[in-house]
Amino acid sequence: MTQRKWWFPLGLILSAVLVLAGVMLMLDSFTMQPDLSSPPGWQIIRPPSDIHALAEQGNIIWAGGKDGLFQLDLLSGELIAEVIFDPPLEHVRALLVDDQGALWVGHQTGLSHYKDGVWQTYTQEDGLPDNRVNALMLDDAGYLWVGTWGGAAIRDGGGWRLLTQADGLLDDMVNVMLQDRHGGIWFGSYVAPRGGISYLKDGDWQYFDTDNGLPHNNVTSLVETNDGYIWAGTGLFDRGGTCQFAFSEAGWQIAQVLIREDGLAGEKVRSIFQDNAGVLWFGSEYDGVALLSGDTWFILDMSDGISHPEIKTILQDVDGNIWLGTRDGLTRISVEALMILYNRLTSYLIVLRM
């Protein structure tokens, strides 16, 4: 029988201690290291998961989507509460805070109004053309416009005035709306191969579709930029692009069409936004968001800290923070992180010009 050395048990004990110490150091390093998926100043917020619409009201950010309506703290980004509604609010597609401080919520079963703790919901029985509400807009006169699958409705006193295909729309399905600085109203549909853009000003209509230059007849977004241009986002799956419109005495004309080859993150443009610095943000369906400053493009995706590559809606709050509503969570970019992002964009521009 072989006799063990006296130091053998001690060696086993020391080895175990060293292994345990190594494990503890590894665990400690994991807790001490920053989350590389969320760079400093970038915050991913879940729940909510799917976000289609955002609105700001005081210190509250309202976020709506497939799973309903949520309240978030503007300063911290923390979830305050999920709005409990009977029947449940599902597929919230539009949010608007009016001049009286009331919140309007467009969803698949109607239009809900909230003020001073009281909810009221309007449906077809109350005069809406369809219960499926896609878009909300306040015009210069303070009237509320509601875009639905069955046309647009204008809140006129206590009732609703309707605007449908019979009145001049290309299609009854109104997906997005915008009033420009000239007083005209833009209506974008999402029923390709039909649809496109209908423009109404002073009783006259103007139309845009794929026959006269629109990249796709599914219109996802409409924005008027500081320089007076209108940008429209269009597309379906891996087709589409963005279109810039310029105004003249003859009306609106398509000034340019941009696709992925021109700098977009993806062909389908899901959302468009212009921030306080004048930078244009083009959210895509699958590929993140493309920033355009002057003639320089810069693309952000999940590797940069975005929660999901489908960017459905974009908001900049009163403090300057950017909120990206995606298919899987909110991404909040602080002002400080935004400044770093602008510096990256400037450095990228300098490198391109060297």
Residue 23 lies in a domain: no
Residue 22 lies in a domain: no
- Compute CA distances 4 → 1, 12, 18, 308, whole Å: 9, 12, 22, 60
**Start-to-end CA span in the chain (Å):** 79
Q: Which long-range contacts (CB under 8 A, 24 or more apart) does 35-39 make?
A: 37/305, 38/305, 39/304, 39/305, 39/337
Residue 18 lies in a domain: no
- Candidates 54, 43, 34; CA nearest to 78 is 43
pTM for the model stands at: 0.86
Distance of alpha carbon 145 from alpha carbon 233, whole angstroms: 20
Residue 28 lies in a domain: no
State the Cα torsion 7-9-11-12 to the nearest 10°: 170
Written as six digits, the tokens of 79 are 């979830």
Residue 31 lies in a domain: no
For 125, counting Cβ atoms within 10 Å of its Cβ (0-12 exposed, 13-18 middle, 19+ buried), the class is exposed
Query: What pLDDT shows up at residue 157?
Result: 80
Residue with tokens 């389908």: 268
Residue 49 lies in a domain: yes
Q: What is the pLDDT along the chain (354 residues), one digit of tens a residue?
A: 334 333 333 333 334 333 333 433 333 333 333 334 568 899 999 999 999 999 999 999 999 999 999 999 999 999 999 998 877 788 999 999 999 999 999 999 999 999 999 999 999 999 999 999 999 999 999 999 999 999 999 998 878 999 999 999 999 999 999 999 999 999 999 999 999 999 999 999 999 999 999 999 999 999 999 999 999 999 999 999 999 999 998 899 999 999 999 999 999 999 999 999 999 999 999 999 999 999 999 999 999 999 999 999 999 999 999 999 999 999 999 999 999 988 887 765 544 444
Query: What pLDDT shows up at residue 250?
Result: 87
| Other beta carbons less than 10 A from residue 147's beta carbon | 28
Residue 9 lies in a domain: no
Q: What is the largest CA-CA distance in the chain?
A: 107
- What type of residue sits at position 2? T
Query: What pLDDT shows up at residue 38?
Result: 66
- What type of residue sits at position 297? W
Count up the domains in the chain and report the number: 1
CA angle centred on 303, ends 313 and 262, rounded to 5°: 65
CATH of the domain at 196: 2.130.10.10
Residue 231 lies in a domain: yes
| Other beta carbons less than 10 A from residue 288's beta carbon | 22
- Compute CA distances 35 → 187, 288, 338, whole Å: 43, 20, 18
261 SS3 class: helix
Residue 310 sits in which domain range?
A: 42-353
